[in-house]
Structure 1
Amino acid sequence: MDVVGSLASILSCLFSQNSLQQSLERQCRHLRKPRKNLNKLKDLVEQLDARKSDVNTKLDQMWLGKGMNPREEVKLWIKSVDRVKIQVSSLTENNNGCSFNFVCSRIKFGEVVEEKISEVKELLDKGQFLDDSVAENLPKVGYTLPASPLMECATTLKSLTRILECLSRESVKRIGVYGMGGVGKTTIMTEINNRLLEGRDFDLVMWVSAPKGPSLAKLQKGIGEKLDLDLSMIDDDVTRAAKLFEALNRRRKYALILDDLWEPFSLETVGIPIPTVENGCKLVITTRLLSVCRGMETDEDVEVKALQDDEAWDLLRYKVGPVVSNSAEVEVIAKEVTRECGGLPLAIVTVGRALRNAADVSEWECALDELRASTANIERMEEAVFAHLRFSYAKLKDDTSRSCFLFCALYPESHQIDTNELMEYWMWEGLLGYVGRMAAIKRRGKMILNELKHACLLEGLTQNAVEFVRMHDLIRDMAITIMRTSPHCISKAGTRMTKHQWMEEWAEDVQRVSLMRNDLKYIPFNYNLMCPRLTSLLLQFNSFSENISHEFFENMQFLKVLDLSYTGIDFLPNSVSNLENLSALLLSNCWNLSTVPSLAKLNKLMVLDLSCSPRMKELPNGMQNLGNLRRLNLSKTGIEIFPFGLISKYTLLEDLLIGGCGSLWGSMTVKAISGGASIEEVISSNLSSLELDLWNTDVFDQYAKSDHWVQLDKFRITIGQPQVQFCEERSLAFSGRFVLRGNPVSLPPNTLELHLDDCADIKNLSMCLVNVTQLKSCKIRWCDDIVCIIESEEEENTLSMLERMELLVLGNLKMICRDVVRPGTLMSLKSITVEYCPKLKTLFSGQILLQLKNLEEISVRSCTGMEYVMQEEEGDFMGGNNFGIEFPKLKRMKLKFMPLLMSIYDGTIICPSLRSLEIASCEALKRLPLDPLTTPALEEIKATRTWWNSLEWDQPDFKNALQPFLIEIRLTSTSDR
């Protein structure tokens, strides 16, 4: 018997208790052959590792074949196997080469080995999974979608950042993402989808492509598919909605992305639980129509804009390949091709793929010609781009909206179209109907204009309080393509045309022709055009140094709009006299025009504009027959006689513009002189707008308080001698709607616009506004005596209706408002422009800051003494410098050429609508009062890189957050100050 056996016998004799005996037997067992047990453990671990490998193989097969995920039990088993393997490996390494000479060590090691053997056997038993029990179809959070290189563009990143910021705010439950077709909305939302999946903030992320038509069933089934819910066998909308509602509620917190939505719908009708702060759900829609966002009751809307030039170029190079950089000749043409794509990613990608690795210059030249000619025969251009854009056109409300849209393509490429002029063209052509006064008709036009902008077919912009729209180049190309067939229109506007080849394209079915803004010098006399369906002929801004033949208009009997403004014609052809359907005859700024034929047959004429044609000395014959005339503009012509009783015949006349008409009114008093019209006749007519000159202030004094003024929406009257010596008399001019020359007088209560030019004896604006309560626009220029606009709280007029204010070249202006202001002061102000006011140190200060809740635009320029844009006064109501002040509607701020400007505001400005900030040559300004979280709509910060890098920040991360919005500008000179 060995030593171990003897020891066990002795110990068993000494201890009689069973428990002690069993313990001793177990310990003695561990002392015998420890290496044998260790080898057994290693063998079992190898079996366990092999079983794990088999399970993983099954899991891979289930995922690849059926998209099934591991069950939680399997995940836990694999985790336990990995843990045991590590422990056994450690156990083996720590005892490698041990002689096991010490009894206690051998006993302890044997116990651990036995425990691990038991644990491995248990895992082997548990790991005998059946094939169908390894994995299961768990509800997916969502699907990762392929990304695009477009996401590297700064313009796209701005939109992406804005959407993510909206998603992070609890108060924002529904988000609208809109923009023209092909601009990249889907690409951005693809990235959003992937980021939401990575963040794991939602139980379910669903991407659903919305049906093209208003199909409730298709939309419900599309959402159901993302939930693995088969609704195909359910015919009832209500039942499908109930099933969807139940399934979505089970998944609780969802994010639903609806791509390319064309019609708004009710969430309840579809079966979508309404997103709330409590449930944390989010709805994001992409659409081309802002009206859809509004119909979906979105909390925030994000417009996706076209790429900047450098971004578009980078994208084209990526798609075309290195061939662009390898040839200088190709690169030059490729950049022109990129510009023709107008920053539209879909067009750039399509063109780039068609010209991939194209090294032949002729291929690029051909593509450029196609783009410029609006034919787009480039491979897949029609299918991928124009068809995409044409769907937006087809979805417009009706044929009237479509006709109004196509009319915009008659303007030159990239032209800024004055919206008032555009709506008047629509009006004269009859697209808006003829019923009602012109203001009511224009309101209908305004609705259509908004529809076109909301459909992203037109881009809206404002400059100097004038509204414009612009048509994207490719949208214009699409419109011109449509107009080649029906309605057949010819648009050669702004093409630098000098000859008459364009006439070869005319056909009998042509409806509109635009040759505006070219350099046409003449129209051949031998052309006898047959255009019985022609409604608009736009020839303005051409020299026409040779006259048009008298027969040219003979076969245009249906013509409604003829525009020859800004041309050099000497006379109007006699054939115009037979255009009996003509609605608008526009001859403004025809510098050589002296003769207009008889208008007696033009009894449908609604507007006659001869303004700024100084060689016109007499009214055309037949003026008494123009019973439908709505507007007569003879301003700044040489016409001196206006027959008595003529205005009375124009019962529909609304606008009479006869200011600066030679000596039209002569030294007229209240009564008519030499058979001419009287001021009584003018003021007694049913006008909406009036512009005239009077040389006798007594006439105005007699009628200034007359009830006749009340009916006028717009009026401009000049009183006093038009020729005055500056040293003898300074002019007090209320122009644009009202003009005075002489001493200040009380203006009519319904004065809407006021211009003060070069005025003496005016200390503040309220001197002229005692009775004026509806003033909306005010422009003050060269009035050196003005020190303050609103003097004190005693002033009766608070200018509460004023929307636009321009203060220009006021050498002594020191403040906008003095002392304490009355409630309501400037409460409607939307836009303020201040330039060349050297003594103005602060734009707004004190209590007036709380009144400016409607302010949308601030522009301050070359005010060399300005130190603060906004400033609290000592002991003011707003407290310390860290206090935030809110301007909820402020969209744009421009500050330029002010070397002493130290601060915009000492605290934080909360501007949720701010889109654009431009700062140039303001070297002393070292801080932006912006918090990225309070400026969610920000799109651009225009500034020099040097100034940007010199800024000091309230928070270190503010600069990083605002950096993507920086658009670097370069100041080449100060000549534009």
Structure 2
Amino acid sequence: MKDEVGIMGIHGMGGVGKTTLLKQLNNRFSDERHGFEFVIWVVVSKELEIDKIINEIAQKVRLGGEEWKQKEKRQKDDVLYNFLRKRRFVLFLDDLWEKVDLAEIGIPIPTTQNRCKVAFTTRSQEVCARMGVENPMEIKCLGENDAFGFFKKKVGQTTLQSDPEIPKLARVVAKKCRGLPLALDVVGETMSCKRTTQEWLHAIDVLTSYAREFSGMEDKILPLLKYSYDNLKGNHVKSCFLYCALFPEDFKISKEKLIGYWISEGIIDGSKGIERAENMGYEIIGSLVRASLLMEDVDWHAMDIVYMHDVVHEMALWIASYQQKDAFVVHPLFYGMPKIKNWSAVRRMSLMGNKAQSFFGSPECPQLTTLLLQQGKLAKFPSRFFKLMPSLLVLDLSENKKLSEAPDGISKVGSLKYLNLSYTPIRDLPKDLQEFEKLIHLDISETRQLLSISGISSLYNLKVLNLYRSGFSWDLDTVEELEALEHLEVLTASVSVLPRVEQFLSSQKLTSCTRSLDIWNSNQEPYEIALPVTMEKLRVFCIESCTISEIKMGRICTKSKTVTPLHNPTTPCFSSLSKVYILACNCLRELTLLMFAPSLKRLVVRYANQLEDVINKEKACEGEKSGIIPFPNLNCIVFDGLPKLKNIHWSPLPFPCLKRIDVFRCPNLRKLPLDSRSGMHGENAFTLRYTEKEWIDGVEWEDEATKTRFLLSTLQV
């Protein structure tokens, strides 16, 4: 962008490569900065949500937090505007469908004086004009030769050389894509394993016949994308793909949550174990990603997510409506209940972000199996609302901030298998829990006002239970009720106060199925805990605002119902543990336990004032003698606010998967356990981020080769 250009607009049809180009610009500026203090990326999408955009920008410039959340919109505008007008920034806005008033989202107008920049993508040239861009950049479809060159790369030389006729047929198929990069990418990957002329001739026939049936550019694209859908292996994979269309455009879907829907819907068989079914779900997601029908990423919580390109999303809805009209009802950010001619045909309905506080009327939906109502303003439901949905399997009411009690009548939906009430202010569990005879998945995480889970033991078939940061008080009766859940396979739990922590950790039943454990807010005298080595399912471990002084490994004594610490352990355990978060724990001095967690991928330690060692040499001696090399899978380390930290490990480690180390406010950490061979190798494969120049200048490197290598990979933030 030239200095005199403050706002740049990029327009073109869906799937032509606008977002790809904008991401490349974002990545380049993120890596090289070019004098910009902040490089900000925001996806806008069709439904313009000003508050969401403001909050996302604030988060990117580190203005987020509890104080920010309490501010009114006007205050947020002013704070953000006054913050950014003193700084040089570049803002990338992806997928605009209407004008975005920069002042309304707290963005100063870019000028030659402030040298700030804004770049955006849109399908509409009119939006460019309304945004004040006189000469927008149009991204056009590729020319025939360029398109064929791109297509050949996707197909691969092995396939192209498998028969002398295939290159000629490939050019015909590429022509059918009409130069659209998304179509070339999707169809090219589909054809990459087709190595007979018959398969290529069939592809040409299918693409030709579908293209003739529709007019207009959209009609020429969707059938091409549908060809990749038709080539998915198995109806269950196709059903999983179409299910993703229930979410709004650009919506980031947690892989784990999505798979939970699929299992409860019966698309994936969960009768042989949840973990086995989840593995199949991840395989299906992988196949959809490889087919370019889904895209995957990791969100800022380090959670694996997937999302759909908007053109693919439109295609999925088109297929669903083509198969049966009104079978899929998707109306995000709607107000109230949509008007549907044939409610009896509706099988899946998504009204996410609904702006109504209550629904009027109760549609009769005998075939409805999924109802997604999360992220809305719903406070209550008509008494008969759920009684007319006898086939309902999946019900998501999460993030309805006004829903203070579970709706009447949901216990009468005898078919229900999945219920999500997370992030709601409910005070009690639904009435008549014993009526939920088929419920296998219950999510009541972040229900801070929940008073009790008494009676939960009556959910006989429950397999997955999420209790993260739920407000009820743990006691021995709670532990006993949960232990009575005979079929429980996956538990996510948050526990506070020392006696409750010990009661939980001494339960063989509960610890053996715990996937995520959060110990928090136990402000009392310093105490030690021992994690049972039988916690083989534990994936995420977090302690926050605790006075825990040491974390050990232990074994459960079933007679005394206590956990006995192991002294001088020698073998790895916690084989599934991949993420550890230590936050505001001012009594911890070391984390030697982590040496025995071979699958650890992410380690975040913030504000632990007494922490001196990550791996203590004396306590790790037996493990070292047995040949354990710590952190073989670790890819990200974050250390922040650790004034006494001196040592991560006493000697250099290979860290074969390490991509990033963040060291912020750790003045006494003078030596890193690195040598010239440590970490990921390759261009931009590894980054060492820091805040204080004095710290990086004072680092004691293993040797000059190590210093040379890692100083080239540092980034001050």
Q: TM-score range by the shorter chain?
A: 0.5 to 0.7
Whether 1:430 aligns to 2:266 is: yes
What SS is found at the alignment partner of 2:323?
A: coil
Q: CA shift at 1:449, angstroms?
A: 0.8
Stretch moving more, 531-540 or 416-425: 416-425
Whether 1:556 aligns to 2:389 is: yes
Question: How far apart in 2 are the matches of 1:785 and 1:639?
Answer: 29
Whether 1:849 aligns to 2:669 is: no
- Is residue 587–residue 610 contact of structure 1 (8 Å, CA) maintained in 2? yes
- Is residue 763–residue 785 contact of structure 1 (8 Å, CA) maintained in 2? yes
Question: Pick from 687, 693, 704: which aligns with 1:858?
Answer: 687
Question: Pick from 634, 637, 646: which aligns with 2:481?
Answer: 646
What SS is found at the alignment partner of 2:580?
A: strand
What SS is found at the alignment partner of 2:582?
A: strand
Q: CA shift at 1:584, angstroms?
A: 0.7
Question: Pick from 395, 400, 406: which aligns with 1:572?
Answer: 406
**Which residue number corresponds to residue 395 of structure 1?**
231
**Which residue number corresponds to residue 713 of structure 1?**
538
Question: How far apart in 2 are the matches of 1:786 and 1:716?
Answer: 18
Whether 1:446 aligns to 2:282 is: yes
Question: How far apart in 2 are the matches of 1:415 and 1:788?
Answer: 41
Whether 1:529 aligns to 2:363 is: yes
Q: How does 1:396-415 map to 2 (within 5 A)?
A: 396-415=232-251
The alpha-carbon distance between structure 1 residues 649 and 539, as it changes in their structure 2 partners (threshold 3 A), is same
Deviations 1:114-148, CA, capped at 9 Å, x for gaps: xxxxxxxxxxxxxxxxxxxxxxxxxxxxxxxxxxx
Question: Pick from 720, 729, 754: which aligns with 2:580?
Answer: 754
Whether 1:476 aligns to 2:313 is: yes
Question: How far apart in 2 are the matches of 1:152 and 1:409?
Answer: 21
**Which residue number corresponds to residue 660 of structure 2?**
832
**Which residue number corresponds to residue 637 of structure 2?**
806
Q: CA shift at 1:640, angstroms?
A: 5.3
Question: How far apart in 2 are the matches of 1:521 and 1:710?
Answer: 42
The aligned length equals 537
- Is residue 842–residue 871 contact of structure 1 (8 Å, CA) maintained in 2? yes
The alpha-carbon distance between structure 1 residues 780 and 513, as it changes in their structure 2 partners (threshold 3 A), is same
Question: Pick from 119, 130, 142: which aligns with 1:187?
Answer: 142
Deviations 1:82-109, CA, capped at 9 Å, x for gaps: xxxxxxxxxxxxxxxxxxxxxxxxxxxx
Question: How far apart in 1 are the matches of 2:22 and 2:404?
Answer: 56
Deviations 1:500-527, CA, capped at 9 Å, x for gaps: 3x14456111111111123221111xx2
Q: How does 1:725-744 map to 2 (within 5 A)?
A: none
Question: How far apart in 1 are the matches of 2:443 and 2:490?
Answer: 11
**Which residue number corresponds to residue 511 of structure 1?**
347
Question: How far apart in 2 are the matches of 1:221 and 1:523?
Answer: 60
**Which residue number corresponds to residue 375 of structure 2?**
541
Q: Which runs of 5 or more residues in structure 1 are unaligned?
A: 1-149, 160-181, 196-205, 227-255, 263-284, 297-349, 351-376, 671-677, 735-742, 888-902, 907-918, 923-976
Question: How far apart in 1 are the matches of 2:190 and 2:698?
Answer: 36
What SS is found at the alignment partner of 1:754?
A: strand
Question: How far apart in 2 are the matches of 1:818 and 1:599?
Answer: 51
Q: CA shift at 1:541, angstroms?
A: 1.0
Structure 2: which amino acid aligns with 1:462? V
Q: CA shift at 1:155, angstroms?
A: 6.3
Q: CA shift at 1:572, angstroms?
A: 2.4
Q: CA shift at 1:867, angstroms?
A: 4.4
Question: Pick from 414, 419, 422: which aligns with 1:585?
Answer: 419
Question: How far apart in 2 are the matches of 1:862 and 1:289?
Answer: 45
Q: Which runs of 5 or more residues in structure 2 are unaligned?
A: 1-14, 25-122, 124-137, 177-183, 196-210, 553-564
Computing the radius of gyration from Cα coordinates, the structure with the larger value is 1
Question: How far apart in 1 are the matches of 2:154 and 2:367?
Answer: 43
- Is residue 690–residue 716 contact of structure 1 (8 Å, CA) maintained in 2? yes
Q: CA shift at 1:784, angstroms?
A: 3.9
Deviations 1:542-597, CA, capped at 9 Å, x for gaps: 1123x112210112111111111111223223321221211111111211443512
Deviations 1:757-783, CA, capped at 9 Å, x for gaps: 2344656543x4465555443211112
What SS is found at the alignment partner of 2:345?
A: coil
- Is residue 242–residue 320 contact of structure 2 (8 Å, CA) maintained in 1? yes
Q: CA shift at 1:863, angstroms?
A: 4.1
**Which residue number corresponds to residue 778 of structure 1?**
603
**Which residue number corresponds to residue 458 of structure 1?**
294
Structure 2: which amino acid aligns with 1:749? C
- Is residue 450–residue 470 contact of structure 2 (8 Å, CA) maintained in 1? no
**Which residue number corresponds to residue 74 of structure 2?**
none
- Is residue 330–residue 350 contact of structure 2 (8 Å, CA) maintained in 1? yes
Question: How far apart in 2 are the matches of 1:812 and 1:692?
Answer: 24
- Is residue 579–residue 602 contact of structure 2 (8 Å, CA) maintained in 1? yes
Question: How far apart in 2 are the matches of 1:476 and 1:154?
Answer: 15
Question: How far apart in 2 are the matches of 1:877 and 1:833?
Answer: 15
Question: How far apart in 2 are the matches of 1:419 and 1:687?
Answer: 20
Question: How far apart in 2 are the matches of 1:193 and 1:387?
Answer: 19
The alpha-carbon distance between structure 1 residues 185 and 469, as it changes in their structure 2 partners (threshold 3 A), is farther
What SS is found at the alignment partner of 1:481?
A: helix
Structure 2: which amino acid aligns with 1:904? L
Q: Normalised by the size of structure 2, how large is the TM-score?
A: 0.61
- Is residue 543–residue 583 contact of structure 2 (8 Å, CA) maintained in 1? no
- Is residue 260–residue 286 contact of structure 1 (8 Å, CA) maintained in 2? no
What SS is found at the alignment partner of 2:277?
A: helix
- Is residue 539–residue 563 contact of structure 1 (8 Å, CA) maintained in 2? yes
**Which residue number corresponds to residue 612 of structure 1?**
446
The alpha-carbon distance between structure 1 residues 533 and 605, as it changes in their structure 2 partners (threshold 3 A), is same
Structure 1: which amino acid aligns with 2:261? Y
Question: Pick from 478, 498, 517: which aligns with 2:335?
Answer: 498
- Is residue 259–residue 286 contact of structure 1 (8 Å, CA) maintained in 2? no
Q: Normalised by the size of structure 1, how large is the TM-score?
A: 0.46
**Which residue number corresponds to residue 163 of structure 1?**
none
Question: How far apart in 1 are the matches of 2:17 and 2:537?
Answer: 55
Question: How far apart in 2 are the matches of 1:648 and 1:611?
Answer: 19
**Which residue number corresponds to residue 47 of structure 2?**
none
- Is residue 464–residue 489 contact of structure 2 (8 Å, CA) maintained in 1? yes
Question: How far apart in 2 are the matches of 1:841 and 1:625?
Answer: 51
Q: CA shift at 1:486, angstroms?
A: 2.7
- Is residue 840–residue 865 contact of structure 1 (8 Å, CA) maintained in 2? no
- Is residue 265–residue 369 contact of structure 2 (8 Å, CA) maintained in 1? yes
Structure 2: which amino acid aligns with 1:484? S
What SS is found at the alignment partner of 1:646?
A: helix
